Amino acid sequence: MLVVQSREARKFTADEIYALEVVAMVLAEMAELGAFVGEGAALSPLHQQSVLLRGGPAQEGSAEGHVWLHEPRVVVTNPIAEDPKRELERLSEAVDELRVGVDKMLEISQNGDKEQLEVLEAYRMFANSKGWMRRMEDDIASGLSAEAAVEMEQSQARARMEQVTDPYLRERLADLDDLSNRLLRILTGQGKTDSADLPPDPILIARNIGPGDLLEYGRSLKGIVLEEGSVGSHATIVARALAIPLVVHVGRITTEALNGDHILVDGDQGVVHLRPEETVVGAFRDKIAMQAKAQERYASIRETPTVTRDGTRIDLVMNAGLMADLPSLGNSGAEGVGLFRTELQFLIRNQMPKRSELVTQYQRVLDAAGDKRVVFRTLDIGSDKVLPYMKHVEEPNPALGWRAIRVGLDKRGVMRMQLQALIRAANGRPLTVMFPFVAQFEEFRQARWEVNKTIDREKRLGHALPETLEVGAMLETPSLAFAPQKFFDEVDFISIGGNDLKQFFFAADRENELVRRRYDSLNVSFLTFIERIVERCELSDTPLSFCGEDAGRPVEALCLAAMGIRTLSMRPASIGPVKSLLLRSNLQDVRKIISDARHRGEQSVRPAVMEWLRNQS
């Protein structure tokens, strides 16, 4: 920030403001390069001191490693133009190279879908924009180098982007931002790295990242830190599937970090230590060592049935969405897959997968699971899960909009294709299917009718039918808990989708950092609501499970079990800690503590339960 004072109050002209912006940018670049660092200088060297950054935890775990920038930052080393004519030539050559690259992208995508081509056409229009080129030429004429001129225009585009609320315009300005990054890389030669340059312990740093890019990195990553992102994004889903610690909403991380920087990621607390001091590194390594010892202890009880001290059996199953998850089925001690997310195979592609491809994928899942039960959740898209090849519908509140089973019932061809693929993959074996986001009985009836119709069609075609078929529903909206009793009689099983149910119950968006932490899962009202669902299921003897982040948190899992939940579905790494606590707990005692806290009028039972646990150890 450049501060200018004037002896007399006056309004600066547009030219004066522009000149000050140029001076500020040049000074910033010089500070970045260390021009003001040294003996007697006021500034300390940038990108050398230790930095503590805070964000939001999206995937638990701790990791130590070295920074790998998904899109390496380009540092402009020559902000001033010594030869403006040569700088104009360099800019022109770089823009020509950029345009050739965009044209090649279009050629490769000619056989792609219409919307993808339209996006690339708009991208090419920006690359050929005369106004964009003219503004950069004017910046060079004012004394900037070609790189500094590009960065100047990029900064102004980003400033405009911050003020635009329209999603379409923001995407177009993001295209311009991406073009500027490409142009800077061409001009400077920086950032031209590939996966072969990855450090042995990479911590991925990015503004944001899609599921496809993240899957390309795979399990080689030790951790992920995003400047944007969210707890329900595609990247978070993949990170959870791969059990990679993830922290989101970490401001300034892409500008503070450089490739190769030492970094510590605490996914439990949402904290990032960049270029940490030795004392911090020591404490962090002690924490990782303690976690490793705990995992060894959990491994010793892997084959032990989860039976509490009062003799209650709890089934612990795992969530999955990728083939990479399936080895965890045996290693974690999970008794089955309580939720297999089928949408990931749709999200990471540029076009709709073929039925034969889905059949192969689902067969591999069932083969890997062996005789253990796998619950396939049908396509859960919409809200934050947008298919790149499906027309995006702008909605004022996507979480409450056209998503999951609502999309399936409106796009029945897609639902039928997936059901056919699941039946053929089962090939005579047991099959369990679950429909997401069911809000009313009629939606489940229509979906069940589609299942029956597909079974009849497959029988006529001579395909092997499942040995047994279970069709269930996810209870993610409070409305379904008050459905007619006939719904509970007809459905084969119910799985409480805790993440969505909690946000709708408390009217608190789990993506909104301002409100999502205000509401406790052990709130008396929420636990009473869970207890009511348990009672309704017991009336019709309907199997009930709880699926979500809270199922994998030991204290929350203990309270859910005390409320009557007998199956908990969680990420594989959580099974050990949850089982360890359940094995040494008496659910009758916990239920009494919850009941007493409720009668005292306490808002949350957490303090009382934590006090009881402290006295038990």
The answer to whether 115 touches 73, Cβ cutoff 8 Å, is no
* Alpha carbons 497 and 499: distance in angstroms, whole number: 6
Q: 10 Å Cβ neighbour count for 516?
A: 16
Q: Which of 234, 249, 537, 559 is catalytic?
A: 234
Q: Give exposure, 442-461, as e/b (b: 16+ Cβ within 10 Å).
A: ebbeebbebbeebbeebeee
Among all chains, which residue has been given the structure tokens 């009672």? Answer: 535
Phi, psi (rounded to 5 degrees) for 578? -65, -45
- The two tokens of residue 510 are 């789990």
Look at strands 262-266 and 271-274 and give their pairing: antiparallel
First to last CA, the chain: 55
Q: Which of 463, 547, 559, 599 is catalytic?
A: 547
The answer to whether 43 touches 36, Cβ cutoff 8 Å, is yes
The answer to whether 601 touches 333, Cβ cutoff 8 Å, is no
Look at strands 62-69 and 262-266 and give their pairing: antiparallel
- The two tokens of residue 321 are 């969405």
Q: What is the CA radius of gyration of the chain?
A: 28
The answer to whether 576 touches 553, Cβ cutoff 8 Å, is no
Question: Is 559 an annotated catalytic residue?
Answer: no
Question: Is 537 an annotated catalytic residue?
Answer: no
- The two tokens of residue 612 are 């009881």
* Alpha carbons 320 and 374: distance in angstroms, whole number: 10
Picking from 500, 575, 556, the residue whose alpha carbon sits closest to that of residue 320 is 575
- Between 146-163 and 130-141, two packed helices, what is the crossing angle to 10 degrees? 120
Q: 10 Å Cβ neighbour count for 17?
A: 12
DSSP 517-555: TSS-TTBHHHHHHHHHHHHHHHHTT--EEEESGGGGSHH
Distance of CA 138 to the CA centre of its chain: 41
- The two tokens of residue 252 are 């300034």
Give 615's contacts (C-beta < 8 A, 6+ positions apart). Answer: none
Give 364's contacts (C-beta < 8 A, 6+ positions apart). Answer: 323
Picking from 476, 471, 475, the residue whose alpha carbon sits closest to that of residue 454 is 471
Active site (catalytic) residues: 234, 547
